[in-house]
Amino acid sequence: MEPHVEVKGLRVTAGGKDDSAITIVEGVDFTIPRGGVLALIGESGSGKTTIALTLMGYARSGCRIAGGSIRLGDTDIRALDEEGLAALRGDRVAYIAQSAAASFNPSKRIMDQVVEPALIHGRMDRKSAEAKAISLFRALALPQPDSIGSRYPHQLSGGQLQRLMAAMALITGPELVILDEPTTALDVTTQIEVLRAFKHAVASQGATAIYVSHDLAVVAQMADQILVLNKGRIREAGAATQILQSPADDYTRTLMAAARPAPKPAPVAAPTKAPLLEIKGLFAGYGKVDSGGRPEIPVLRDISLSIAKGATLGVIGESGSGKSTLARVVAGLIRPASGSVNFAGARLPGGLEQRSRDQFRRIQLVFQNADTALNPAHSVADILGRPLRFYHGLKGAAQQKRVAELLDLIRLPANLADRACSGLSGGQKQRINLARALAAKPDLILCDEVTSALDTVVGAAILDLLADLRRELGLAYMFISHDIGTVRAICDDIMVLYGGMAVEMGPRSAYQAPPFHPYTDLLVGSVPELRAGWLEEQATRPPPPAIGPALEGADLCRFLPRCSARIDGLCTHFTPPRRHLPGGSDILCHHPEVVN
Amino acid sequence: MSAIPDAKNPGWAARLPLTGKVGLGLVIFWIATAIAGPWLAPYDPGAFAHQDVFAGIGAAHWLGSDYLGRDVLSRVLSGARYSVGLAAAAAIAASTTGTGMALLAAVSPRWLDEVLSRFMDTLISIPSKIFSLVLVAAVGSSLPLLFLIATLIYIPGAYRIARSQAVNLAQMDYVQVARTRGEGAAYIAIREILPNMIHPMLADFGLRFVFIVLLLSGLSFLGLGVQPPDADLGSLVRENISGLGEGAPAILVPALAIATLTVGVNLLIDALPRRRGSKEG
């Protein structure tokens, strides 16, 4: 059969047209049969998006397509002029970007934007375009398909916008759809719905698709063929099942190993039982605090936890669950409204002003994004030297020696000390970010999504480093993440946050098998497995059972609106009790026989 | 304004782009002129050295003569001192004070920020020319007074720009890290925030400098600025305005001098090495 998409010897360069040009992509060949799905997988800088964009005849500013042939059906894309390309884009080839929220114009209604490609290319009149859009909304399982088009982007969630962008891409009935990391920015529970909707919609249109991603497990659900890329070259190409089951290339195996971090063993010396950090009945949020100690806009509600010396607590939840707020309360950036926070046996003052320098030193906060957490005006030596001087009074040669030791500890060469941070890679920056916390010789490090912004391979290396440091230095961590795989790999205890409440809390062994809290169940069940066909096996969740009106003013379960195990009359009227499960965890739920 | 971040690096001037080198050349030229001008002047700037008014370029008088027959070259060489010196001093004072107060506002409790900002709003609402007129009328024109007026008028603008920068930077993660390290407000303002706003503030300084040259020229025209027989570049333009029809060098040269001075300052500042956080492409 004649391939639908055929790319041969593709070469993309950046810079001038002469020899000084840097080759970004070289020697890439692939074909996709009509209706097939090819996945481009690799780390950042692997050229996967660059390759996908060449199929629209597009190279990012400063880059150009320097060689090779790109054919779509019987069209030679490289032979098209600007006009020909403009006619191609958005009509025969459609693109779905990573951040739909940034791709929609906030001042226009959804429908006006979704039908735009069809109107620009003169495919249909406005009325039939709107009818087609509504049928696509329905196919993509969007709520209220008939009226959702009259809303504005800010009124919709990230997952809904991502599906609406798919509707915009599919409205002209394109031959080829390019999906560029379309679920990377979504919560895992949303991702599964979006993946399912994409797969169904692309298949029912009979379109050929290119799926760009760094996540092998997601790719396993979507693709027929996989192309593994590294530094602009193909490392391995083949059918999805073959690559997932018997990868031939070393690099592919590295990627697979990093995708699912193995559990790190707990340190040999069992952590002592005396709690280092103990939080009881913590409420925190924004706005005025009432007489009962409840803030106007609560973010954290009734949180209690304890971390022993040398232990690791994982805090997991989706965006908006309050997990970063928890770290900021412990760090002193946000004052708690009520409840107690004790550190090393003494009460920890709520604000920064009342804390002692020793308390500052013993609790260190590491932010998610090293790009913004390291001051671009400072060199590595400045960044690491400051806490050494501030807490330990180290100056001159002693400080330099300690900086070199710290760099060695985080496995970076000592000659990096004089460099500015802007010249370092993402992984190196995150190590410096960590080393700054280590320089204080802390007892507790608050890690806020420290691996989320990194490539999987780099993130796995940071996790290994954290586990090693814990063993060597006896550190305790509060490890905040949205990824249950990461948390299970490194933490002794795990707390699941939903809507600011700890819905489940227990040792990591309790998270290997059910029973779980209904939300934990949803979370665990939404993480794609590293094999094809997983998505199909996951039955579509039944809609939550119908319930009567909730009792006004009652302190009800936060998960109630989404819970598939909710019970009318019980969950709608009473505050859920905290119950102990045989697996070792405590959950906040009414359900007599917890799910599964 | 504190030292340019990369100025200590020996090769920085050589690494400037061409526009920056042109700017640097012009700035050095005008600074040299401001310092050495009076000694280089071939005639006494106040003397009636030429027979004709608005004479053209000639061997004895390289840049011709002005509306009273005085030597234009000598007058420009002596006038540069006021324009460069006074304007630069006032621009530096205004930018430094504005930036300093903005940093104070960014790291202080909210009430102090409010007090400072409202005070600046009050200052900015006074029309600058009227403010200068009142002060000059009350005290009488003198160089220290002109310096004070120019500084006071341009502090609020510098403050506004600097505050908007500083308040944004104060929200950055690295500032939060410094706060949780227990650092004091002074360290955060000077070491964490200031280095990251220096480039925009230098650009702003260039703009303020140009504004001050223009303000001083305007005051000179009204007879309230630098007092005759001394004249800054602005007053040279104004006093020779009647020569415009003849295209006399007496008006073209001081106008060209102001242009090269202000353009040079801005070219140099725009070309200074930037230090910014790298963004993933």
CA distance A141 to chain B (A): 34
Cα torsion through B263, B265, B268, B274, rounded to 10: -120
Asked whether this complex has an ipTM greater than 0.90, the answer is: no
Given this model, what pLDDT does residue A567 score? 83
Q: Are strands A444-448 and A363-366 parallel, antiparallel or unpaired?
A: parallel
Given this model, what pLDDT does residue B2 score? 41
Give every strand in the sheet of A295-308, ordered side by side: A295-308, A275-289, A338-343, A346-347
Residue closest to A237 by CA, chosen among A229, A247, A226: A226
Residue closest to A567 by CA, chosen among A551, A586, A587, A544: A544
Tens-digit pLDDT string for chain A (596 aa): 678 999 999 999 887 666 677 888 888 999 999 989 999 998 877 888 899 999 998 888 888 888 889 999 888 999 989 899 999 998 899 999 887 778 899 899 999 999 999 999 988 899 999 999 999 998 888 888 898 999 998 888 888 888 899 899 989 989 999 999 888 778 888 888 888 888 888 888 889 999 998 888 888 888 999 999 998 899 999 998 898 888 889 988 888 888 777 777 766 555 566 789 999 999 998 888 888 878 888 899 999 999 998 899 999 988 888 888 999 999 999 999 999 999 998 999 988 889 999 999 999 999 988 888 999 889 999 999 999 999 999 888 999 999 999 998 888 888 888 888 877 888 889 889 999 999 999 999 999 988 887 888 888 888 888 988 888 888 999 999 988 888 888 899 999 999 899 999 999 888 888 888 889 988 888 888 888 888 888 777 777 788 878 777 778 888 888 888 888 888 888 888 888 888 888 888 887 665 44
Neighbours of B265 (CB within 10 A): 25
For residue B154, what pLDDT band results from cuts at 50, 70 and 90?
very high
CA distance A245 to chain B (A): 33
Given this model, what pLDDT does residue B7 score? 45
For residue B281, what pLDDT band results from cuts at 50, 70 and 90?
very low
Which residues on chain B place their C-beta less than 8 Å from a C-beta of chain A? 5, 172-174, 176-177, 179-183, 191-192, 195-196, 275-280
Neighbours of A461 (CB within 10 A): 18
Residues in chain A with CB shorter than 8 Å from the CB of B181 are: 360, 386-387, 390, 440
Amino acid identity, position B74? S
Given this model, what pLDDT does residue B279 score? 32
Segments in A474-541 forming alpha helices (H) = 484-490, 518-525, 534-537
Strands (E), A202-273: 208-213, 225-230, 233-239
| A48 sits in which H/E element | helix A48-54
Closest Cβ–Cβ partner in B5, B174, B180 for A375 = B174
CA atoms within 13 A on the CB side of A292: 5
Instruction: Give me the residue spans of the domains in chain A.
Output: 5-259, 275-512
Given this model, what pLDDT does residue A300 score? 92
The rounded mean pLDDT for chain B is 83
Chain B within 8 Å of A373 (Cβ-Cβ)?
A: yes
DSSP class of residue A539 equals P
Residues in chain B with CB shorter than 8 Å from the CB of A436 are: 177
pLDDT > 70: percent of chain B: 93
Residues in chain A with CB shorter than 8 Å from the CB of B278 are: 371, 376, 422-423
Q: Are strands A501-507 and A493-498 parallel, antiparallel or unpaired?
A: antiparallel
Q: Do domains A5-259 and A275-512 have the same CATH topology?
A: yes
Residues in chain A with CB shorter than 8 Å from the CB of B183 are: 390
CB pairs under 8 A between A and B: 68
The tens digit of pLDDT for each residue in B47-60 reads 777 777 777 777 77
Amino acid identity, position A161? L
For residue B277, what pLDDT band results from cuts at 50, 70 and 90?
very low
Which pTM does this prediction carry? 0.81
Chain B within 8 Å of A379 (Cβ-Cβ)?
A: no
Given this model, what pLDDT does residue B280 score? 31
Integer Cα distance of A12 and A189 in angstroms? 37
With beta carbons less than 8 A apart as the criterion, state whether A586 and A505 touch: yes
Instruction: Give me the residue spans of the domains in chain B.
Output: 29-51+59-271
Amino acid identity, position A25? V
CATH of domain B29-51+59-271: 1.10.3720.10
Name, in order, each residue with C-beta under 8 angstroms of A333's C-beta and a sequence gap of 6 or more: A352, A365, B176, B179, B180
Q: Is A272 left (phi over 0), alpha (psi -120 to 50) or beta?
A: beta
Whether omega before A515 lies within 30 degrees of 0, making that bond cis, reads yes
With beta carbons less than 8 A apart as the criterion, state whether A445 and A475 touch: yes
DSSP class of residue A104 equals S
Of A554 and B112, the one with more pLDDT? B112
- Give the mutation candidate from B4, B168, B174, B198 for the A interface (greatest A CB count, under 10 A): B174
CATH of domain A275-512: 3.40.50.300
Given this model, what pLDDT does residue A380 score? 92
Given this model, what pLDDT does residue B276 score? 42
Given this model, what pLDDT does residue B275 score? 47
With beta carbons less than 8 A apart as the criterion, state whether A207 and A32 touch: no
Given this model, what pLDDT does residue A432 score? 92
Give every strand in the sheet of A208-213, ordered side by side: A93-96, A176-180, A208-213, A37-41, A225-230, A233-239
Name, in order, each residue with C-beta under 8 angstroms of B176's C-beta and a sequence gap of 6 or more: A333, A365, A367
Backbone angles phi, psi at A304, to 5 degrees: -130, 135
With beta carbons less than 8 A apart as the criterion, state whether B240 and B253 touch: no
CATH number 3.40.50.300 is the correct assignment for the domain at A5-259: yes
Integer Cα distance of B270 and A366 in angstroms? 35
